[in-house]
Structure 1
Amino acid sequence: MAGRFFIEDVAPSVACGRYPAKAVVGELVPVAARCYREGHQALGCNVVLESPDGQQGPFTRMQPGDDDMWHATVRPEAIGFWSFRIEAFDDPYLYWRSSILKKIDAGQGVEDLGNDLAEGAEILERAAGGVPESSQSQVLEAVAALRKQDAPLYERVSPALSLADLLWQYPVRQLVTGSEPYRIWVDRQRALFSSWYEFFPRSEGAEVTDEGRPIRHGTFETATRRLPEVARMGFDVLYLPPIHPIGRVNRKGRNNALVASDGDVGSPWAIGSGEGGHDAIHPELGTLEDFRRFIEAAREHGLEVAMDLALQTAPDHPWVTEHPEWFTTKPDGTIAYAENPPKKYQDIYPLNFDNDPEGIRTEILRVVLHWMNQGIKIFRVDNPHTKPFDFWHWLIWKVKETDPDVLFLAEAFTRPAVMHGLGKVGFTQSYTYFTWRTNAREMREYCEELVRAADYMRPNFWPNTPDILHETLQHGGPPMFKIRAILASMLSPSWGMYAGFELFEHIARPGAEEYLDNEKYQLRPRDWAAAEAEDRSLAPFIARLNEIRRANPALHWLRNLYFHDIDNDALLCWSKRDPDSGNTVLVVCTFDAGNVHWGNTTLDMPALGLDWHERFTARDELTGTEYDWGQHNAVRIDPYLQPAHVFSVHRRD
């Protein structure tokens, strides 16, 4: 303890201040602290926010809550390291005002309150020096009134009592006690709000036989033709699996066959061959110049390219020959390939970060900076939970020293503590367990957990990936595809989907939670135009969801997610509200793709920005239909017609 008053349990504070909390430009960040003092005198608290250039803005007064907790929000407005500290102080005006009101209520008159009136005048004289010049006369007039001996009590004290709002904002502060500073790293807004689309460029423009054997390999040039449609669906991040040369030694065949057949293209995650490693382009995709042209073409369509960072190698990667010490050698002299028993990945060698850690760090930083120089500012990191945490902490913040706009998405489906730890050490976003939360109760509990972790972990919800085809999509039919897209895009400010989702691809490899004829191991060209012409595409629906997301600021944030009660366990009801614009979105979604459900809502009206008794217009943004709603409403969901209502909330005049 340093200073007169206690300041404890400060938030946001990540791992007791070891790591910075996270925010994005313009985000309202809740700040809290437990502050208390001796006796009955009034305590005040405020937050002092300091920008990356060391400038301190006007302090923000904190509001008292239960159990001596104080609360406020701050809003950082630039990228970089911000800091804040809590200040607790004696507030003599607040104590004087409370005391004199109690004495007046107890029947004490002007003859009893001479000292109180004099003390109040002294406090206000001090206060006059701290208020804006335009308010000084008001304060000095209150001083004069308190000292007006022949005036009645009401006339003497009323001007001073009316200063409560002004002196809350510009208090007299005594015995100021400050906390230590706490850091917040502030990213660009895409770190929190983004819509991702994943495709394999080698499949775009490719040709295969009826048996799936490759005839022609897709290139960056042919993949460019797909960009307009991705943009029309409203995505702003285009994620590419690894684009590097693919190893030939132990190459996997189609559907993860242990032995590849002639012409099999292998897994892009088996990186490296005689043609190069992590800093090279797969020759069949094109050249480095072709890749730069692809990035520029994507940018012209409003798409930012995200690149895969997979820190592993094929057996014929140049690192294996040049730096065998970077790998684990078995007693028989062979290099250990990747295993996740009983799974074996004979085509992949994991790096051993305990062997020459400085050499590995230097090389990986060089690789990342190389791709940054080509225009990449987003990296999706493969299996980060299998690499040391201190390495990621070093790499991410080293990169941000060079370019603070660079973002890292953690692809880690592992233990919750590990996923949270990756967020704490610096990962910008994280894959989540969204895919496996398949009923309303589980989803609500999981989302509430994520909101509680919003100071350091930002979720990105994906209904599918090349690795994951959940059984709900295997068997739920088109309604389930809509359901999962609505849940992902409306619950989380960042969401993504893997190509083929919009075509309702749902055939799984027997006994596995992944696609048959998996694109990880083979080319998979799709006839996009025919699917849309024959009304077999979800693309227009996806486009509408992303359009709703862009048009409603409430959907751009995570901390504002609020769940409302509904009396049907198959339905989930939630809202998001943006306090600046007043924009509010209210969603009711089913989890049952096969049956019609009715539910009755009990809405928390203040969470919608309304009084308990008010009625409002609920405009369904998916259909344009308007409803007259209040706190209690009956709702019907038919998954074959529309599996959710996505309402914008409009107050009645």
Structure 2
Amino acid sequence: MATTPRNQRPSTATPSSAPAPDPAPPESAPAAPASAEPLPERPARIGRIPIRDLSPAQPEGRWDAKAFAGEVVPFAATVFREGHGLLGVELVLTAPDGAVTTRRMAMGAAGSDRWSTEAQLDQLGDWSWIVRAYSDDWATWLHTADIKVEVDQDVDLVFAMGAQLLEGRKGKVCTEARAAFLDTSSPGEARLKVAHDPRLAREIGAAPVASLTTESAPLTLRVERERAGVGSWYEFFPRSEGAKQRKDGSWQSGTFRTAARRLPAIAAMGFDVLYLPPIHPIGRVFRKGPNNSTVAGPHDPGSPWAIGAAEGGHDAVHPDLGTLADFRWFLGQAKKNGLELAIDLALQAAPDHPWVEAHPEWFTTRPDGSIAYAENPPKKYQDIYPVNFDNDPEGIRAEVLRIVEHWIAQGVTTFRVDNPHTKPLDFWEWLLGVIYERHPDVVFLAEAFTRPAMMRSLAGAGFQQSYSYFTWRNTKEELEEFLTSVSTETSAWMRPNFFVNTPDILTEYLQFGGPAAYKIRAALAATGGPLWGVYSGYELFEDVARPGSEENIDNEKYEYKPRDWAAAEREDRTLAPYLTLLNQARREHPALRQLRNLRVHWSSDDALLVYSKTIESEFVRSGRRDGVIVVANVDPHSVREGMVYLDLTALGLDEEAEFGVRDLITGQRWTWGAENYVRLDAFTEPVHILAIEYPRGV
């Protein structure tokens, strides 16, 4: 990173208008000193004190790094200098309202030259920050004094130099110390004791003795609202809630009014975001039947993602669900239950969408004259036409912006975007940038299960949240690598949402893992990241897949699926109480609502995954440090036992400390230390979620 040095040497190059230099001296004359020659000009790429590799930052500096309100953000930079002089390094933060905060940075492992600090940012908007480094002349002198006084070397000279550093300082302690240093009748040890007086350290700390001050170039950190980075999502199909089958085999669809009856139960489980798949009219041409069959019966409702029919397109509500006014009423009911409503933004069209007739240029026409439907070979989606964003980019952009603005006007503040990786990245950069400028509280979740470069670039370009590979990371080794990656490597701009399942994803782990697998995956998702989600039916252990696929049999994408929630509760075959405990733990422990604080620990068993999350006391409203340790048996078919080895310094504890832990699921308590025996039975409680009972003052 280029820097802007404060004490850069002024240029000595001769300006073009200067008079010609004197003739060369005779051979007998002494050579002129080299400094008499003009120095060649070179652009400064580094400051007097090098400051490099600043974080948080996005690769290439193309887009700004991100945080959410209340997030504890680690700031770091590599800072070093020539020789043995000691450095002081500071983080200087400028809030959107112009307020400036300075925090001292500390060096990590000795010799690493990596300096860091943390700051909790709560003001929305763009923060500016720099790293300031300087030669810490006082610390350098004190280090030298310690060495020389011990061996009785140049003692008076050393203290004369120390007095020189304090010259002109008006503080009482500094004045007294300077006089003591110049008292040559006083032993060196006595004068050194004065130099180490804590009062002197505080007085100098308030105004360091600094030189060669250098500042990095400024970086920007965008702070978005808390819901952009923290949330418990619940997905359900409103048409299934209250749906009834008639005697003739036809169905009476659920509506927004009947679906609202489910809201209190969702809120009671502790979820705070309710996500609805597309609520628009569904195409009739090439409508899909049960289990994605290409033949639909007269009573099959079709896939909500096949958007558009005679009743309207992306700005319309499916008439079976109600009217636009009914939607606004439903949104209000969700808010009354503490639920923020997220709707689907799926930029595609059914063959009978109004766009197809009005704007055929928005699609791809094949050589035979037909419009290309969506394919992901060998999968075919004959009921969906993908939009070609290159045929009329301005027209398409205007229409999509109109649609998003339309739903924002209804009160929607969160969009789950279907398959954004199949649309151009520059389109998303434009759209999300415009929406942020107009509506900075709006959140977009990218449903992009695709290659890492595209996933990360979508997040970088503006998506506040992203689906991730969590769904397919199941072994201890896979999870350790994944959790470390998302909490460190990409956390400056990518916020993973740990959905445990979706209408399209029922992994083999869930298909064959039984109730234990459902507990394990929910516990890991709820504690591993501040964003997680479930698709309706998860709490009922729905685990039967369509043969040869990762989709549920009788998939709700293609048919109504009413569920008897009351019967499941009566018969005690629901995971709802467990999900409630997980969300309660997230509310009570701020450490679980952070992403960048996850640390993986070690265990002796290859199925015992161990990680922790902590947050320092200065960032907790209660004023006490908060920490949680998670130990999970990721094998849903067995009992696992072994030793858990904790890095207690990562927990904010002494290496030899003993401390209490309380299981947030069972309520049991134990005394733990650096080494602990654990036995986890997958068929009872496969996961420990342990709150650390910190001693007071920690």
Band the TM-score falls in, shorter-chain normalisation: over 0.9
Shift of 1:173: 2.7
Change (3 A) 1:400 1:495: same
Deviations 1:295-346 (A, max 9, x none): 1111111110011111111111112222221111112222111111111111
Residue of structure 1 equivalent to 2:677: 634
Of residues 88, 92, 96, the one that matches 1:52 is 96
2:687 paired with 1:644: yes
Partner Cα distance (2:691, 2:157) in 1 = 57
Change (3 A) 1:517 1:127: farther
Partner Cα distance (2:274, 2:518) in 1 = 20
Q: Is the 8 A contact 1:208 1:523 kept in 2?
A: no
Shift of 1:47: 1.5
Residue of structure 1 equivalent to 2:54: 10
Change (3 A) 1:89 1:221: same
Residue of structure 2 equivalent to 1:511: 548
Partner Cα distance (1:62, 1:283) in 2 = 61
TM-score (norm 1): 0.95
Residue of structure 2 equivalent to 1:535: 572
Residue of structure 1 equivalent to 2:636: 593
Unaligned runs of 5+ in 1: 129-135
2:65 paired with 1:21: yes
Deviations 1:30-80 (A, max 9, x none): 122222223333332222111123332234344364332222223322111
Deviations 1:485-544 (A, max 9, x none): 111111121110000000111111111110111000111111111111111111111111
More displaced 10-residue stretch of structure 1: 406-415 or 173-182: 173-182
Deviations 1:200-238 (A, max 9, x none): 001111112699x54210111101000000001100000
Q: Is the 8 A contact 1:139 1:160 kept in 2?
A: no
Q: Is the 8 A contact 2:126 2:223 kept in 1?
A: yes
Q: Is the 8 A contact 1:60 1:74 kept in 2?
A: no
Of residues 452, 460, 469, the one that matches 1:433 is 469
2:533 paired with 1:496: yes
Change (3 A) 1:29 1:170: farther
Shift of 1:93: 1.3
Partner Cα distance (2:259, 2:543) in 1 = 23
Q: Is the 8 A contact 1:23 1:185 kept in 2?
A: yes
Q: Give the 4+ runs in structure 1 shifted more than 6 A.
A: none
TM-score (norm 2): 0.89
Change (3 A) 1:354 1:541: same
Partner Cα distance (1:54, 1:127) in 2 = 30
Q: Is the 8 A contact 2:155 2:188 kept in 1?
A: no
- Once the two structures are superposed, the pairs formed by residues 133-152 of structure 1 within 5 Å of their partners are 136-152=171-187
Of residues 466, 475, 480, the one that matches 2:503 is 466
Residue of structure 2 equivalent to 1:338: 374
2:188 paired with 1:153: yes
Partner Cα distance (1:226, 1:64) in 2 = 51
Pick the structure with greater CA Rg.
2
2:447 paired with 1:403: no
- Once the two structures are superposed, the pairs formed by residues 318-337 of structure 1 within 5 Å of their partners are 318-337=354-373
Q: Is the 8 A contact 1:17 1:183 kept in 2?
A: no
Residue of structure 1 equivalent to 2:160: 118
2:393 paired with 1:357: yes
Deviations 1:153-203 (A, max 9, x none): 344343333334553453133222211111111111222221000000011
Partner Cα distance (1:59, 1:475) in 2 = 51
Partner Cα distance (1:242, 1:577) in 2 = 38
Residue of structure 1 equivalent to 2:120: 75
More displaced 10-residue stretch of structure 1: 167-176 or 612-621: 167-176
Of residues 616, 619, 624, the one that matches 2:662 is 619
Query: For residue 57 of structure 2, what is the amino acid of its counterpart?
Result: S
Shift of 1:599: 1.5
Query: For residue 27 of structure 1, what is the amino acid of its counterpart?
Result: E
Shift of 1:473: 1.4
Change (3 A) 1:611 1:90: closer
Partner Cα distance (2:215, 2:168) in 1 = 21
Q: Is the 8 A contact 2:107 2:113 kept in 1?
A: no
Identity of aligned residues (%): 52
Partner Cα distance (2:207, 2:272) in 1 = 44
Residue of structure 1 equivalent to 2:18: none
Query: For residue 89 of structure 1, what is the amino acid of its counterpart?
Result: Y
Partner Cα distance (2:130, 2:364) in 1 = 47
SS at match of 2:227: helix
Change (3 A) 1:176 1:652: closer
Of residues 215, 219, 239, the one that matches 2:275 is 239
Query: For residue 116 of structure 1, what is the amino acid of its counterpart?
Result: V
Unaligned runs of 5+ in 2: 1-44, 618-623
SS at match of 1:365: helix
Shift of 1:417: 1.9
Partner Cα distance (1:443, 1:156) in 2 = 56
Residue of structure 1 equivalent to 2:309: 273
SS at match of 1:67: coil
Q: Is the 8 A contact 2:174 2:203 kept in 1?
A: no
Query: For residue 631 of structure 2, what is the amino acid of its counterpart?
Result: V
Shift of 1:149: 4.7
